[in-house]
Chains A and B, each alone.
Chain A
Amino acid sequence: MGRIQLKSVTKSFGDVEVIPPLDLTIGDGEFTVFVGPSGCGKSTLLRLIAGLEDITSGSIDIDGADATDVPPAKRGLAMVFQSYALYPHMTVRKNIAFPLRMAKLDQAEIDKRVEGAASVLNLTDYLDRRPGQLSGGQRQRVAIGRAIVREPAAFLFDEPLSNLDAALRVGMRLEISELHERLATTMIYVTHDQVEAMTMADKIVVLQAGVIEQVGSPLELYRTPRNLFVAGFIGSPKMNFIEGPEAAKHGAQTIGIRPEHITVSETDGEWSGVVSVSEHLGSDTFFHVQETGLAETITVRADGEVGFRHGDRINMTPRADVIHRFDAKGLRIE
């Protein structure tokens, strides 16, 4: 009920082509995350799907029917905006009921659906307040409530958590994931935060400059990034890239090794270097190692109890089976 297919979609603003021809299929019930650095065209892509921007060429199919020229309201999609875009002069109840009133549903049905959405989202006590009297998380839930009452074919989220503080963001992330489990509706979620992408997605679409770099499940992207960009974007802290003779030893232009795939030791190892900064997170410790002769800085993730400090010389050993190799064009070598 929520299969969305983009066929050679392009978008230009004047002479600037922000999205070169792009094909993408989003399956029914899938939680798809568009992720990429700012300005990569992910929000534009979402707005094209929503119908808030017209596509320059190509077509968009929703549930097999051509929706290219269908106005936003008729596409059966609901969107949650970054600023939530709640109507400030209406109470929470009226905000959530607005799409239903516009659809001219009868009052009893509207009340039923609003109450239903409010109880799902724990908003029952706040129905008669205005958005201005709510906290960020509550506003976010109202925005989601306004989307779910319409029972859309798919939900579109445009960086919905970027205005929340860190603790709330983790909570809302879980709530949205739970909502997806319960509703099993197609969801498209735009974010620049790869942690959100990894934790929530069924399928991640990595974008750069309007081009899809890779599509796949979070673990696929983590295990087999197709190129240097995806390798560097997915995973936190970032993958280490090493060029030169060390890479040549593996028959590649560049090799990549994730910080969590390097073991540290005081006594022996393949590489050695001096700790410049050590970040103790409690559960983990990140070492930023310099003077390795490999790259400017090598990041290493170790157990939280490993207690090297600034200036200590340490030895590192990469796990040979998880070294990623890339050729001169930055593409993965299998």
Chain B
Amino acid sequence: MATQHSRSVARLMMAPAVVLLLGWMLVPLTMTLYFSFKKYLPLRGGDLGWVGFDNYVRFVSSSSFWPAVQATLVIVGGVLVITVVLGILLAMLLDQPMWGQGVVRILVIAPFFVMPTVSALVWKNMFMDPVNGLLAHLWRFFGAEPISWLSEASMTSIIMIVSWQWLPFATLILLTAIQSLDSEQLEAAEMDGAPVLKRFYHIVLPHLSRAITIVILIQTIFLLSIFAEIFVTTGGAFGTRTLTYLIFQRVLESQNVGLGSAGGVYAIILANIVAIFLMRIVGKNLDA
């Protein structure tokens, strides 16, 4: 019953929210763009005028740029592989009928509700501490020398922490996808002579392909910007400085707002490339 009148009222009612959201996005974006073309050093003279694309060139040609890109890719890639593989396995496990299913599912989702800073601190102090951490105790129990995780295996540690946080998300999405699989298809494949692994490969995995793509894309967008986990644990040392962390250091530690802003613009472009793929796939999913 959308008459001309009710539509215009609807627009009017929605306007404050739209304006607020637009402002929320546009103001920081414009400021980032503005500062990225300036030489702006807050503690060393402030605004020193326009410099064109100088900041962009400097950000990319810095010696820490490529290692940061590499670290970002390793973290994103590692977390994606772990969450997707374990997520599929967990989803299949949770799909089995069992006692206390509801409680178990809530427990599995729980890590997702823990704030990144908190979970990183818990991991750092309670699990990975080389003296008092649970893992250290475990190592000693088996007579091994405890590892000081965050310095000796810094990348592995961060990937572990972030995977732990994102595994519930992957599991949840993959579980709903698995539940929508027609059980007659699996039975048909069983009658057609496909053993368990082939049924998984030929029936379950293709059925999950779209859900897996969505998990990968959504996670990529969020994983590109992980910050708290690194800030709280290694502080960007031991080769864990990602692109996001590099931007943070440029702005706050080097007090170079222009250079950091240029890095921010690179990050925006990167995230948008992923987002475009995501939109197209989700859109296709909605059409089908």
Which residues on A are within 8 Å of B, measured CB to CB? 50-52, 71-74, 77-79, 81-83, 85-89, 98-99, 102-103, 146, 150
- 28 A-B residue pairs with CB within 8 Å: A52-B187, A52-B191, A72-B187, A73-B191, A73-B192, A73-B193, A73-B194, A77-B191, A79-B187, A81-B187, A83-B182, A85-B182, A85-B185, A85-B187, A86-B185, A87-B188, A87-B189, A87-B202, A87-B206, A88-B207, A89-B207, A89-B209, A98-B202, A102-B193, A102-B194, A102-B198, A103-B193, A150-B192
Choose from A79, A82, A86, A103 the contact partner of B191 (Cβ within 8 Å): A79
Please, which residues of chain B bring their CB within 8 A of the CB of A89? Answer: 206-207, 209
Which residues of chain B from 193 to 228 have a CB within 8 Å of any chain A CB? 193-195, 198, 202-203, 206-207, 209
Please, which residues of chain B bring their CB within 8 A of the CB of A83? Answer: 182, 184
**In the complex, are the beta carbons of A78 and B184 less than 8 A apart?**
no
**In the complex, are the beta carbons of B188 and A79 less than 8 A apart?**
yes
Tell whether B145 is near chain A: CB-to-CB under 8 Å: no
**In the complex, are the beta carbons of B185 and A87 less than 8 A apart?**
yes
**In the complex, are the beta carbons of B187 and A73 less than 8 A apart?**
no
Range class of the B interface residue count = 10 to 19
Which residues of chain B from 168 to 192 have a CB within 8 Å of any chain A CB? 182, 184-185, 187-192
Question: Closest 3 interchain pairs by CB?
Answer: A99-B192, A85-B188, A73-B193
Please, which residues of chain B bring their CB within 8 A of the CB of A71? Answer: 190
Closest B residue by C-beta to A104: B193
Main secondary structure, interface of B, reads: helix
Best-surrounded residue of B190, B191, B207 (most CB of chain A within 10 A): B191
Given A83-B182, A89-B206, A89-B207: A98 touches B187 (CB 8 Å cut-off) = no
**In the complex, are the beta carbons of A50 and B191 less than 8 A apart?**
yes
Please, which residues of chain A bring their CB within 8 A of the CB of B184? Answer: 81-83, 85
Given A87-B185, A87-B203, A89-B207: A98 touches B191 (CB 8 Å cut-off) = no
**In the complex, are the beta carbons of A146 and B187 less than 8 A apart?**
no
Alpha-carbon separation in the docked complex, A83 to B198 (Å) = 21
Q: Looking at the assembled complex, report how far the CB atom of A206 sits from the nearest CB atom of chain B, in whole angstroms.
A: 25
Alpha-carbon separation in the docked complex, A73 to B190 (Å) = 6
Alpha-carbon separation in the docked complex, A226 to B29 (Å) = 83
Best-surrounded residue of A73, A85, A87 (most CB of chain B within 10 A): A85
**In the complex, are the beta carbons of A78 and B191 less than 8 A apart?**
yes
Alpha-carbon separation in the docked complex, A150 to B194 (Å) = 13
Please, which residues of chain B bring their CB within 8 A of the CB of A52? Answer: 187, 190-191
